[in-house]
C-alpha cells in the first residue's frame, strides 16, 4: 500500500515531548485509481504503543490515528449534518466493536466516527451518542453500539513509521473535494457508561497544530 510523501501532505515538526509512535510528521489523503489512500507517518514505529488492558469495558482506553475531514456524515451512511466526520484507526484491548459481532480487540482496525464538541470530555470532543429510543440512519457495518460509528473492513497497513488505509472512492461521497487534518489521540469509555460514552481524553498531536483541516485531497502523483 502506498505510503509515500505527496504534495498535498500536511507536514509537522517532530517533538520529543510526544510519544514517538504518535508524533505525526506527515499526513495525507490521496486518490489513486479507484481508491483513496489515508496515510500518516510518525517519528517512531507506527502502532507499536497500545493501551493497557483493564479487563472491563467501562473506563477502558482507545488509542487512535485519526483523519478529521470535511466529509458530511451523509457521505458515509449516517443522517446528514451530524458532526465532524473522521476516519480513525484504533486499538482497544478491552472490547470488540466489529460489524456483525466480529472480534477486533486484538488488532488495529479502522472506523468512521462522527465527532462533536462536548465540554464534559477532557479533550473537548466526543463520538456522538445515539440517544436511547432513537433510530437514526446507520451504515450496514454499524457495530450495533449507541454511537455514530461504523466498522468497515478496509485494508489497513502498518509498515515502519507509517499507517495507511485504502478505501474505495465509490464508498465515500465527496472525497475528491474534501479537506483533512491528522490527529493522534487517546479516547476513553465513560466509567459510568453514560453519555458521552466515548470521549477524546487526550490529544497527542494535531498535524496542523490548530485542527484547521488545511490538507486538500488530491490525485496521487
Give the pLDDT confidence of 198-220 residue by residue, as tens digits.
999 999 999 999 999 999 999 98
pLDDT for residue 2: 41
Burial 47-75 (b: 16+ CB within 10 A, else e): beeebeeeeeeeebbbbbbbbbbbbbbeb
pLDDT for residue 7: 64
pLDDT tens digits, the chain, 221 residues: what are they? 444 445 689 999 999 999 999 999 999 999 999 999 999 999 999 999 999 999 999 999 999 999 999 999 999 999 999 999 999 999 999 999 999 999 999 999 999 999 999 999 999 999 999 999 999 999 999 999 999 999 999 999 999 999 999 999 999 988 988 999 999 999 999 999 899 999 999 999 999 999 999 999 999 87
pLDDT for residue 3: 41
Q: Give the integer Cα–Cα distance in Å for 28 and 218.
A: 9
pLDDT for residue 91: 98
Amino acid at each position: 500500500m502506498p505510503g509515500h510523501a505527496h504534495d498535498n501532505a500536511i507536514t509537522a515538526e517532530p517533538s520529543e515531548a510526544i510519544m514517538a509512535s504518535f508524533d505525526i510528521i506527515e499526513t495525507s489523503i490521496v486518490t489513486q485509481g479507484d481508491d483513496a489512500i489515508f496515510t500518516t507517518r510518525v517519528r517512531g514505529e507506527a502502532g507499536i504503543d497500545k493501551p493497557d488492558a483493564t479487563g472491563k469495558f467501562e473506563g477502558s482506553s482507545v488509542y487512535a490515528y485519526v483523519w478529521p475531514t470535511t466529509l458530511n456524515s451523509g457521505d458515509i451512511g449516517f443522517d446528514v449534518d451530524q458532526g465532524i466526520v473522521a476516519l480513525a484507526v484504533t486499538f482497544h484491548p478491552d472490547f470488540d466493536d466489529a460489524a456483525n459481532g466480529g472480534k477486533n480487540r486484538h488488532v488495529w482496525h479502522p472506523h468512521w466516527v462522527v465527532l462533536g464538541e462536548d465540554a464534559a470530555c477532557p479533550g473537548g470532543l466526543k463520538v456522538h451518542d445515539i440517544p436511547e429510543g432513537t433510530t437514526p440512519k446507520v451504515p450496514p457495518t454499524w457495530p450495533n453500539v449507541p454511537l455514530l460509528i461504523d466498522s468497515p473492513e478496509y485494508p489497513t497497513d502498518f509498515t515502519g513509521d507509517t499507517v495507511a488505509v485504502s478505501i474505495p472512492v465509490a464508498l465515500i461521497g465527496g472525497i475528491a473535494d474534501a479537506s483533512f487534518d491528522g490527529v493522534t489521540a487517546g479516547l476513553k469509555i465513560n466509567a459510568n457508561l453514560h453519555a458521552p460514552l466515548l470521549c477524546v481524553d487526550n490529544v497527542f498531536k494535531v498535524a496542523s497544530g490548530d485542527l484547521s483541516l488545511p490538507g486538500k485531497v488530491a490525485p496521487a502523483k
